[in-house]
Chain A
Amino acid sequence: MTADPLLSVRSLSVDFWSYGRRSQVLRDVSLDVPAHRHVALVGEPGCGKSVTMRAIMGILAAPPARIASGAILFDGRDLLRLSAREREALRGTAMAMVFQDPMTSLNPVFTIGDQMGAILRYADRRLGRARSRGARLARVHEVLTQVRMPDPERIARSFPIMLSGGMRQRVLIAMALLSEPRLLIADEPGAALDVTTQAQILKLLRDLVDDRGLALLMITHNLGVVREAADDVYVMYAGSVVEHGATAELFARPRHPYTRALLDCVPKLSGGATFRGIDGSLPDYSAPPPGCRFAPRCPLAISACSRPPEARRVSADHYAACWRLEDAA
């Protein structure tokens, strides 16, 4: 990787304020998403991946949430220093999001064409581009073709309720592609669909990354999907990134105790019938442990773990935040 990555989150910390109490929901999260790469952000529900995603897109609910520190660099500019207007100019144009639930993410009372046309219209306005209605519709058909929808004209005239789940998910992706974004953030793509359809969606995303040079950040809790589809993976636990690296390398040689425990949890065909979980539960974000947040549950925890571990290098493209990397081998 020679050039700076398209998206670079640097030491992002986010707090949630509720009834006067502060929950440190994200602490020191850093991740990079370069162009032409499919990066996965994986973790249990409640680990902060949604918050990270929303912070990047700029749709965090600002009163309860507060960005405590850090930077989000997109194409060299720190998004957190931009005005609301400037951020809105980027949303839906340079960076776009593919929502998780195709059943609820489309407005039921408008046609697909209406909704996509409206998005395009406002995106154009922000980019200072003028397009006639006919040209907009043409573009809508064009992206629908890009996501491999048969008969795009009919789809554009349809209401969401007339389409299947898989088709709706493609529509969501198409919506994101309307203004030729450079960064795509996909929230649990295909999670609400059956496995076969999900595989098709993932292939579609892969092709978009490869053919169009998109930078794709995928948020998921599904390790199988990560292994199959992603180039790089970031593992999150309780608001921090505990390990990250190239997928193949990380899965082959997990170093952080949490990652290893996580991978152990996944039942393997060869491993017999034992089901293992991880003892303990997520920390209380309003009174988190000082230092490593996994320490209370970690079999390798020592007194040094009360200091926040830094991301230490395991090999090129593989980093883990643990004081006991060497012992975890």
Chain B
Amino acid sequence: MSAAVAGESAPRISTAYQNWRRFSRNPTAVIGSAIVVIVLAAALLAPLIAPYPDHVGAVVNFRARHLPPSARYWFGTDNVGRDIFTRVLFGYRISLLLAAVVLGAAVPLGATLGLIAGYFGGWAEIVIMRLTDVALAIPPLVMALAVTAVLTPNLVHAMLAIAALWWTWHTRLIFSITRTLRTQEFVEAARTLGASPFHILFRELLPNCASAILVKTSLDFGFVILIGAALSYLGLGVQPPTPDLGTMVANGADFLPDRWWESLLPGAAILFVALGFNLLGDGLRDLFDVESVR
């Protein structure tokens, strides 16, 4: 039941401003953004703000081993005396770099394939979507494990392995959006005006997918970081002595529960960044009212 609106319309407010207001009213979105900004800042400024920048390398400080958190070492020290806080800051760099590279490759690839499959249909759709089905049947972690094991375990191979599967989620998402959009009139209009398929794909359809892509990518940042952490927990990601959050958890696990800070604080750091991106993605999803993205 709607109350009828009077003939005159309200004064126009720009969409961007409206979006900003709604976004800033949404507590999850705000908290998520704050966390992401903090982590980004920490990662970018790590060399400048880390209290013990040299602890990143192969430094050994036996007299300061296994120290609990204190004013001197905010997160305590690990089994060879390195400052954990510093290593967490630098560990964030690795995690964010990993996620950025993986998504930077997977999202454009996935979106393009999804657009093609959704718009052209036919063989393109069959081939692309079957490929996606196969990829989705493989647990990403397993794939990453297999690839990094066969090649040597290092960051690049880990990124490769995860990206090799990750594009499929975006393909699926964009495919379903494009498929519904393809029947709409603005597409037909563009076609009759003589627009090239390229134009239709990237200038007409893609902008309509933008909000869904944005939401999913935000959420994905968190998930990719989690997978990367699991990989390095198993010893197949970044190799020591480069600091990595997952590796730190694994190393510190031996000393639980007495020296909890060595394992749990890096773990909390992982949780923190994943939480931030998850909340941000959720907030964006509420903002754009996109139901179809998980």
Task: Determine which of B1, B3, B6, B7 lies in contact with A50 in the assembled complex, contact meaning CB atoms within 8 Å.
Answer: B1
Q: Is the CB of A282 within 8 A of B4?
A: yes
Residues in A45-78 with C-beta less than 8 Å from chain B: 46, 50-51, 54, 65
Residues in B239-259 with C-beta less than 8 Å from chain A: none
Q: Is the CB of B6 within 8 A of A46?
A: no
Q: Is the CB of A46 within 8 A of B2?
A: yes
C-alpha gap A51/B1 in the complex (Å): 7
C-alpha gap A54/B1 in the complex (Å): 10
Interface assignment of A284: CB less than 8 Å from any CB of chain B: yes
Residues in B1-26 with C-beta less than 8 Å from chain A: 1-7
The residue in A18, A25, A287 that gathers the most chain B C-beta atoms within 10 A of its C-beta is A25
Q: Count contacts between A and B, CB distance < 8 Å.
A: 28
Q: Mark A9-33, 1 if CB is under 8 A from B, else 0.
A: 0000000101000010100000000
On chain B, which size bracket covers the interface? Answer: under 10
Q: Is the CB of B1 within 8 A of A16?
A: yes
On chain A, which size bracket covers the interface? Answer: 10 to 19
Chain B residues contacting A224 (CB-CB under 8 Å) are none
Chain A residues contacting B2 (CB-CB under 8 Å) are 46
Residues in A233-254 with C-beta less than 8 Å from chain B: 238
Q: Is the interface of B mostly helix, strand, loop or mixed?
A: loop
Chain A residues contacting B6 (CB-CB under 8 Å) are 281, 283-284, 287
C-alpha gap A51/B5 in the complex (Å): 17
Task: Determine which of B1, B3, B4 lies in contact with A281 in the assembled complex, contact meaning CB atoms within 8 Å.
Answer: B4
Task: Determine which of A50, A54, A285 lies in contact with B4 in the assembled complex, contact meaning CB atoms within 8 Å.
Answer: A285
Residues in A77-122 with C-beta less than 8 Å from chain B: none
C-alpha gap A65/B2 in the complex (Å): 11
Q: How far is the CB of A319 from chain B (nearest CB, A)?
A: 25
Q: Is the CB of B3 within 8 A of A23?
A: yes
- CB-nearest residue of chain B to A282: B4
Q: Is the CB of B4 within 8 A of A238?
A: yes
- CB-nearest residue of chain A to B7: A281
Interface assignment of A286: CB less than 8 Å from any CB of chain B: yes
C-alpha gap A46/B5 in the complex (Å): 10
Q: How far is the CB of A305 from chain B (nearest CB, A)?
A: 18
- CB-nearest residue of chain B to A25: B3
Q: How far is the CB of B1 from chain A (nearest CB, A)?
A: 5
Q: Is the CB of A286 within 8 A of B7?
A: no
Q: How far is the CB of B9 from chain A (nearest CB, A)?
A: 12
Q: Is the CB of B7 within 8 A of A46?
A: no
- CB-nearest residue of chain A to B8: A284
Q: Is the CB of B1 within 8 A of A25?
A: yes
Q: List 25 A-B contacts (CB under 8 A).
A: A16-B1, A16-B3, A18-B3, A23-B3, A25-B1, A25-B3, A46-B2, A46-B4, A50-B1, A51-B1, A54-B1, A65-B1, A238-B4, A280-B7, A281-B6, A281-B7, A282-B4, A283-B4, A284-B3, A284-B5, A284-B6, A285-B3, A285-B4, A286-B3, A287-B6
Which 6 pairs of residues, A with B, have the shortest CB-CB distance? Answer: A282-B4, A284-B6, A23-B3, A285-B3, A46-B4, A281-B7
The interface of chain A, by Cβ under 8 A from chain B, is 16, 18, 23, 25, 46, 50-51, 54, 65, 238, 280-287
Q: Other CB < 8 Å A-B pairs besides A18-B3, A283-B4, 11 of them?
A: A16-B1, A23-B3, A25-B1, A46-B2, A65-B1, A238-B4, A281-B6, A284-B3, A284-B4, A284-B5, A285-B3
